[in-house]
Amino acid sequence: MRSALRAGALLLTLIAPLAVAQDSEDSQASEGSKESPSFWSRSVDAVNSTTPFPVGGKEAQDKGWFSGAWDGTKNIWRDGNWDLLVSGYTWHLPYAYSPEKRQQENSLTWGFGIGKTLVDERDNQRILYTLIISDSHYKPQYSAGYGWMARWKAYENIRVGAGYTAFIMARSDIHDYVPFPGVAPLASIGTNRFSLFGTFIPGHASILYFFGILTFDAK
């Protein structure tokens, strides 16, 4: 769990330049400004722009960050399109597992979940989801979380994306299903209707995990 939290902190640091690139036109200093915002201030603002806070109502935002983020979360659930999540495949990286151990681990981590996806004016995605899968030990694994994806058009209606997910998870092999938090990177390729997602879980797990999201009523 500690390695996941350390990886999460590093991930948010890496996400900041990505979000800055998305908002570069809006973040330019005015001509009359004598002093540009500090790197730390710009990084915090960039990371905050990937949270649910910006899609919250102004009245809620004026009450504080948590109020604005909670209102944004409710707006994603209210206004987003329904998702069906389909799991999935897990690749246990060879450097972390012996051949015998890899044969014992479950790679076909099948499962399903539901969620909501809201696409903003920049074609970025905000995703709320719940997911139940068969983990590497053939035991149920439960998770719920939030994801943010910056997306770019690759070819016609094909888009590639990069972002992160923050989640709460419960597993049999970690304190016997006591929920714990985590943050992980996300990458995607697909259309507005269906995309294949992948993530890397470092540390003790050392896996690549793949799943798909089918979005209903998406244009």
Q: Which residues of 7-20 are buried (b: 16+ CB within 10 A; e: fewer)?
A: bbeebbeebbebbb
Could you tell me if residue 96 is inside a domain? yes
For residue 132, tell me if it sits in a domain: yes
Name the band, by pLDDT with cuts 50, 70 and 90, for residue 13.
Answer: low
Rounded distance between C-alpha atoms, residue 117 and residue 104, angstroms: 35
Instruction: List, for residues 93-103, the tens digit of each pLDDT value.
Output: 999 999 999 99
Dist. CA 128–CA 76, nearest whole Å: 7
Instruction: For residue 33, indicate whether it is catalytic.
Output: no
Strongest mean pLDDT among 6-15, 31-40, 74-83, 95-104: 74-83
Token pair recorded at residue 52: 């649910």
Beta-bridged to residue 182, according to DSSP, are: 167
Residues 138 and 197 in one domain: yes
pLDDT of 23: 54
Contact 143, 176 (CB under 8 A): no
Residue 131: CATH number of its domain: 2.40.160.20
Are 48 and 132 found together in one domain? no
Per-residue tokens: 20: 């800055």
Decide if 32 is inside a domain. Answer: no
Catalytic residue among 49, 87, 92, 143: 92
In whole angstroms, give the CA distance from residue 163 to residue 180.
21
φ/ψ of 208, rounded to 5, equals -110, 130
Set 87, 136, 143, 195: catalytic member: 136
Q: Which domain holds residue 99?
A: 81-215
83 touches 216 (CB < 8 A): yes
Please check whether residues 150 and 86 belong to one and the same domain. Answer: yes
**CB of 27 closer than 8 Å to CB of 45:** yes
* Whether residue 209 sits in one domain with residue 162: yes
Q: Same domain, yes or no, for 204 and 102?
A: yes
The pLDDT tens digits for 49-104 are 999 999 999 999 999 999 999 999 999 999 999 999 999 899 999 999 999 999 99
Bridge partners (DSSP) of residue 112 are: 86, 132
Contacts of 127 (CB under 8 A, 6+ apart): 76, 80, 83, 115, 116, 117, 118, 146, 147, 148, 149, 165, 213
Q: 3-state DSSP call for residue 149?
A: strand
For residue 31, is it within any domain? no
Residues 6 or more apart whose Cβ sits within 8 Å of residue 40: none
Q: Pick the catalytic residue: 43, 83, 87, 135?
A: 135
Q: How many angstroms separate the CA atoms of 49 and 43, rounded?
A: 10
> Is 135 considered catalytic here?
yes
Q: What is residue 18's predicted lDDT score, i.e. its pLDDT?
A: 57
Nearest to 197 by CA among 117, 122, 138, 134: 117
Average pLDDT of the chain is 87
Q: Tell me if residue 136 is catalytic.
A: yes
- Residue 30 is predicted with a pLDDT of 43
- Which tops the pLDDT comparison, 167 or 6? 167
**Count of CA atoms in the C-beta half-sphere (13 A) of 207:** 18
Total count of domains within the chain: 2
For position 181, what pLDDT does the model report?
A: 95
Question: First and final CA of the chain: distance in angstroms?
Answer: 39
Over residues 169-204, the pLDDT tens digits come to 999 999 999 999 999 999 999 999 999 999 999 887
pLDDT at 147 over 90: yes
